Amino acid sequence: MNAVPRSDVVIIGAGPAGLSAAIYAGRARLSTVVLEKALPGGQILITDWIENYPGFPDGVAPAVLMEGFEKQAVHFGAKIVTDEAREIVPDPVGWIVRGGKADYPARAVIIAVGARYRRLGLAEEDRLTGRGVSYCATCDAPFFRGRAVAVVGGGDTALMEAVYLAKYASRVHLIHRRDRLRGTKILQERLFADPKITVEWSAVIDQILGRDRVEGLVLRDTNDGSVRELAVEGLFVSVGMDPQSEFVRELLDLNEWKEIRVDGRLATSRPGIFAAGDVIDAAPHQVATAAGTGVAAALSVVEYLSKTG
């Protein structure tokens, strides 16, 4: 395994939290390596438009915003490396982040790996993924031009996906387990104003119908248990996010949702390891809060390193 020279801080993940941390670490003149397993930007890139990031009154394309984060991090000296962190192990002067391509020794580590979409957990789900089951409306909406689709979920992402899909689909059914939505009010207003969108209240999906492609859903009413079929050719799953904390589950304290426990300074249960963004407990899953906790984690690293010499 290759070992690269020790850096002051290794940041794992180049989404909003990791890149914000990199900007602050770079400006503090810490040698900074950012590990990213795919492409810089993070999961926000799969949404079509950001209109709640402060300072952009007309909204901004996720790719444009995140390219700005990345350029700013690189400008202040951060080195972005394509590699996936596999584990973090202690060494006499700090930690070693073991990647797929090399080992990355560091005096401090910031974990900003984010979260990924949660699966529904139905038996047919894997087989029909890419055959009508999708987790990315902006990727797959054009395949459903003039067809009926369903979105399952009730949070902001589900509401945004339903409104986005209505531009392509002939009809969008939003399937929600409760009798009210949790998503932001302005998104609810847009959803209810769209004549193509119907909300299927108090309903859960028992089964996805179709052998080689999605042909319909079996819905169960959560009040009376009655069952009915809904003919759709697409199912967009938006039932929440899971933190990608698997690789540190033995090392760090996690909460019951596998989120990394941090204190007010973003410190984890191990000295010198900090965490930020959607992977930490009670994260609101917003670009602005991910950026904010990334900044705070970097400042904590600066303070930690000044004390440890």
Residues engaged in binding another protein (CB under 8 A): 37-39, 41, 45-46, 62-63, 82, 84, 100, 129-136, 138-140, 142-144, 212-214, 233-234
Work out how close the CB of 45 gets to another protein at its nearest, in angstroms, rounded to a whole number.
4
48 as an active site residue: the answer is: no
Among 48, 83, 103, 139, which one carries the catalytic annotation?
A: 139
Q: Could you write out the three-class secondary structure of the chain?
A: CEECCCEEEEEECCCHHHHHHHHHHHHCCCCEEEEECCCCCCHHHHCCCECCCCCCCCCECHHHHHHHHHHHHHHCCCEEEECCEEEEEEECCEEEEEECCEEEEEEEEEECCCEEECCCCCCCHHHHECCCEECCHHHHHHHHCCCEEEEECCCHHHHHHHHHHCCCCCEEEEECCCCCCCCCHHHHHHHHHCCCEEEECCEEEEEEECCCCCCEEEEEECCCCCEEEECCCEEEECCCEEECCHHHCCCCCECCCCCECCCCCCECCCCCEEECHHHECCCCCCHHHHHHHHHHHHHHHHHHHHHHC
- Identify which of residues 154 and 234 has a Cβ nearer to another protein in the complex: 234
Work out how close the CB of 28 gets to another protein at its nearest, in angstroms, rounded to a whole number.
30
Work out how close the CB of 100 gets to another protein at its nearest, in angstroms, rounded to a whole number.
8
140 as an active site residue: the answer is: yes
Work out how close the CB of 122 gets to another protein at its nearest, in angstroms, rounded to a whole number.
16
221 as an active site residue: the answer is: no
- Identify which of residues 33 and 214 has a Cβ nearer to another protein in the complex: 214
Among 48, 136, 242, 281, which one carries the catalytic annotation?
A: 136
Residues labelled catalytic: 136, 139-140
